[in-house]
Structure 1
Amino acid sequence: MRIVVSEPHCPKSVQGFSYDPEPNRSFDRLVCETESFAKKLHALKTGRSDRGFVVRVSEDDMDSDEDVDQSAQEEEEDFSQICTCDDLYLSDDEFDHELEYMMDKIDLSENDYQAKTKEDIKNQVSVLEKEIMNEIETSRSALARVEKYRENRREVERRLDLQYKRKVAEAFDTHMTAVQREHKIKSYIEERKIKRKEAQELAKKRERANQEEKIRQEKGEKEVIERVSVVALTLEKHRLKKLEELEAMNKELKSRLNEDFRSFEKRIGRAIRQITGVKDTVNAKISEIVKVFKDPRCPLSISIAAFAKRMVSCKQNPFACSYIIVYVTSKFPQAMDILLAEFHKACIYTVPNHDVNSQSMWDSEAYERLDSTMRLYGALVQTDIRGGNATNLHGIEHGWAWLARFFNNISAINIATATALNAFLQTAGFGLHQRYKSQFVKVMNVEPEGRTMKTSLLSTEYTAVLDLQNNNQHYQRNDYIDCY
């Protein structure tokens, strides 16, 4: 806020004396001093004397101008200056009139001065308000421009930041892709190295295993022959015991359930009698037998017993029957021991075992039964179903063990032993030769005679006859296997 300076339109000093020692005083102070001056004049009027009036000027009201003379400075040190006016004399009427005139003049001048001062103040205030409003508008406009500029800068920075982030993400993706590609290449190389090492180690292991197998087979032939007889007898007893337990359990089931399961047994027997060497027929009979096995109305033990008994007595195509046996026993492994027990009951040479005292009681029908049973047993041990649909639980290794036991345990050569060996080799000879090759040939070129082993022309002649028969059987077998 500006300070308003009021200056009268008259000289500031008269004969060296200043009537307004404080020119910058306010309007209120001026009014107060005027009223004080009027009171002093009124007191002077009522109590006037012949002596002159005294004008006192304080040192605070003195002007500090350089043209103030030395006498005024000395009077300021004395704090006041007395001025007598003995030569001036006014009458009472003149004094009153002059005083009233001066008071009116002072009032008019004061009113004009006050109005002018107020007008000036108003003008200056309005000008100031306009300037302030202009400054406010200018500030607001400047602030708006600054805010707009700030928003624009933020948008630009946001876009730049987004663009930078996108570039960083693209660079990161490119780097990760390169790293993954390099990692895959390294992993592939390492994997190839590992596979190569594993293949080499596996080849070495196989080579060592083959060598060990050859050495073991060559060195262990005699040991196997010596031990297999005891093992065979133990297995025979174990299997026969299982068969007896199964028959006892089936008898107890039939009596307890009081039901007749002959219809299921007849279905199994009919399916076995209808077996032929045709692929579709064999598959149909397998499905029919498996369906009976899975029928909840008939206990599985009864179905297994009926299947084993009727299959061993079957005189149909041995290779087709062996295929069905392998498939069914792979689905129901517990049926294999029961089937082998029925083989042992039907023919003691399937163990192999030999009873010299019973040879006199054999007739042509017994030899026929011996031949068919051994053919079926030989077909069973060499059957191998292609495609992995079934696994032979009594495979070619059991046929090789049977052949070793046969030559080791049979001390006499007669019609029964020749018939059993001939029937077995006609169906299993090809598989044994394919698997054991030269070892099979060596075994066929020796025959036991008493307690010694010798090379015999009889073995050679017998082998030649068997070769002719095996060739015919080989063609039949290949035709049958190719159907599957």
Structure 2
Amino acid sequence: MTMIKLEVPCSKSFHGISPDPNPDWNLDSLISELNALEIKLKDSAPTNLKKTKPLEFSNAKYNYTMSEGFVMRVLDDEMEHIDDNDEGGYDQSLMTGRRFSCPDLDLSDIEDSEDELDHETIETHLMEKTGLEEGILFELEHECQLRVKEEIRNRFSALEEDLANENERSYSALIQVEKYMDAKREMDRRLDKQYQRKIAEALDNHLSAVQRDHEQISLIEERRIRNDAAFEEARRKEIALHEEKMRQEKAKEEAEARLKAVKVAEEAQKAALEAKRKGVKEAAEREATETTKVVAMGVTQNGVIQCKEDTNGQLKGSGSHAPSVVQSAVSTVKAAESALRAEREILGRYKQLAEINRGFSSNKGFLSYERQIGRKLRQISGGQDNIRARASDLVKIINDPHCPQSMSIAMFAKQVVSLCEDSNVDTTSVAFARGRFIAHVTSQVPTAMDIVLAEFHKACIYTVPKHINYSESAFKSEEAYYKAVGYQEGGGKIEPTDSYLERVRSYMTLYAAIVQTEIPGIRNLHGLKEAWAWLARFLNALPANLYTAVALLSFLKISGYTLLQKYKSQFRKILNVISGEFLFSLKALGDPKLNKVIAEIETYFDTEQFLQEPEGLRPQSYLLSKHY
């Protein structure tokens, strides 16, 4: 018997699934299956096949096991009738195998007439030609193909179902992830809002605490000022009581002296010559006594009238009208008592320095030092490094042993005040730079600050602050009054008011730049505390007019921003007084010359310039570091 190798006419693997569940068949297995198929097909076979003796497959002669599987080749044309009987789900690609190999079968007649015969004739011919083996093999092959198709179809359906379930699970998981992300974002948003709210509350609490601290400091400062004022008032009263006591004692002594003089006169009458000589002596004594009671009026260098007192508290002078002149002169000066006291102290130090320098004034070799000081002042720029370098150079010049320090300080103070004659001081950046420069120098040479202030007070009375009203009884002429308040004379004429006001603006601009200067590590000897005191003294004592309005506006433009940052609500109260009472008093004067300065003050408050940092307030090095 010839060995037949059958091969399934389909792909050996489809998506990893083998069409033959047991590819390693042996002959015994095939024979057993063929016998079983023959029994099953007896009833379904044609009539002529039923009469045929069934074939008996035995493996008695073949007791070996085939190592290779059966190879079955079926023609494409032979499978057409199988496709007709199939359910329509058979894959044509599975039937593109090679021809069914069977050497004992002669299919030449079937191949020649395959277009003419129908399916039943071919089947009958094959059965008659080849016998039952071919039919069994054919049925076995068909059943195997159906089983493989069904298994593939089941596997594919299971895979599709798994894929659908997996997609559904992925979609559900994606929805859960999106929900979790939305919940996470919402939680982050709530936490961020809560954190921002906490930061805002903490910042508000901090600012409130800082404001309370500033208010407490302001209250303490006001209380200190009031205490100082009360102490000065008590001290003044004590001095007045002491002076009154001294006058009473002196009057008592004078009365006793007069009694003694009377006794001497009575005794002198005993002799004519003796009486005449004693009478002349008594007349001389009475004249000397009366001379000590007469008031003399003196005029200072800038025309301000002052009363001089002797050691016993009596006013010295000559003339019968001296007391009335003192009264009228006092009424012309408008200033706070503390301001006048501070001015007297500063001018006293200035006079002491002038007395020291009086012996050196004839030396012309000091002029080169004065030129060097003026050159350093004119070389100042807005840079912090430039200011420090120029200040260091100037301190070296002041401490030069070849020139007395008192002379260098006096020259420095005069050069500082002379800067106000320069029109460039009107620019705020230049004023701030010079203010920082003066603070650097005076922090190393403290005496220089008093002399600079004295020069300011001599050049501009509003830096004290004080104002002098015109009075015919106090001044011989209007020119004398103008000279007293600071007008300059040129060519035998007094300068116009506009020129004088421009100089007042320059003086007040530089003065305000000095008092508002605050430098880390540098102590300003005339700092913001003095700026606050200047404002209080100004508003308490000075009247509202053209001169005081120009001085006040120039001061506020430079130091208003810094004062607001320092004193906050307390400074706003002062601003309310200026925008209310002071401005109302200016308008009540009805002077057309005041329209311009009134408009400038209103613009200052309407645009809230005190909230805007002036140009040049910070050194350039600080600005560059901030922007970087």
Report the TM-score when normalising by structure 1.
0.50
- Specify the structure having the higher radius of gyration (Cα): 1
Q: Which has the higher helix share?
A: 1
Report the TM-score when normalising by structure 2.
0.39
